[in-house]
Amino acid sequence: MIRVLLVDDQPLIRTGLRVLIADTPDLEVVGEAGNGAEAVELAVRLQPDVAVMDIRMPGTDGIEATRLITADPGCRTHVLVLTTFDDDDCVYGALRAGASGFLVKDMQLEAILDGIRVVAAGEALIAPAVTRRLITEFAARPEPSPGTGPGTPAGPAGTAGAGRAVLDGITGREREVLTLVGRGLSNTEIAAELCISTATAKSHVARLFTKLDARDRVHLVILAYENGLVPPVR
């Protein structure tokens, strides 16, 4: 059973999510918070698997609450940001703060439930529309300078530029996986696309993190774009 904490300053949103989750056998709501400060306190006390976090709330906002939750070594809660606002500041702020996922409220309800499951499993998830916008933004930037590689800051997310040579050390299958990550697919979706198990897909992604010195899944998306595996969205 996946234990969920709902964090939103609008009671109606929390009620809707609670009712939705109540009809889902593998999920249960263990707490609700109307602001970030309450979210942090409940996450530490209740230790839910996932906190579904809004961003714009009075007092401590969702980004600061995410940072406090993920920075606490005694808290094992993963944060899935679910917000109406998908502007760049919100996306980058949430990812910098340690969120494992970023979804928007106008997505299909089943996609939100699947997002909770993905994040609870320790994976990362970004709404496809947000992923496409990240790729588009980087497409508009100048080509990386020669010698630029992983570890060189490039852009609001703190991600790095990289020459095409960085992919020389990955296998053909890992290249396929990187392409699908670049398209915004979760590990479960990658497994279905390649007819492999989710555990195998997760292992491929983990090896890509190591081989490409990638900090997070967004960095892999950018590497997929920079190396021509995913065409930019115009």
Summarize the confidence of residues 101-107 as an average pLDDT: 86
Model confidence at 76: pLDDT above 70: yes
Q: What is the mean pLDDT of residues 65-75?
A: 93
Which residues contact residue 100 at a Cβ distance below 8 angstroms, ignoring those fewer than 6 apart? 78, 79, 80, 119, 122, 123, 124, 125
pLDDT of the residue at 165 = 53
Contact 166, 150 (CB under 8 A): yes
What's residue 163's pLDDT?
46
pLDDT band at 232 (very low <50, low <70, confident <90, very high): low
pLDDT above 80: residue 41? yes
In SS3 terms, 29-87 reads as EEEEECCHHHHHHHHHHHCCCEEEECCCCCCCCHHHHHHHHHHCCCCCCEEEEEECCCC
Residue 98 predicted with pLDDT over 90: no
> What pLDDT does 196 receive?
93
Instruction: Please determine, for residue 14, whether its predicted confidence score (pLDDT) is greater than 50.
Output: yes
Residues 32/6, Cβ–Cβ less than 8 Å: yes
Q: What is the pLDDT of residue 150?
A: 40
> Between these two residues, 121 and 9, which has the higher pLDDT value?
9
Residue owning tokens 């904490």? 5
- The least confident of 42-51, 149-158, 161-170 is 149-158
For all residues of the chain together, what is the average pLDDT? 82
Domains of the chain: 2-126 (3.40.50.2300), 143-226 (1.10.10.10)
Q: What is the mean pLDDT of residues 150-179?
A: 64
Residue 231 Ramachandran class (φ > 0 left, ψ -120 to 50 alpha, else beta): beta
Q: Where residue 79 falls among pLDDT bands split at 50, 70, 90? A: very high
Taking only the tens place, the pLDDT of each residue in 123-140 is: 777 776 676 666 566 555
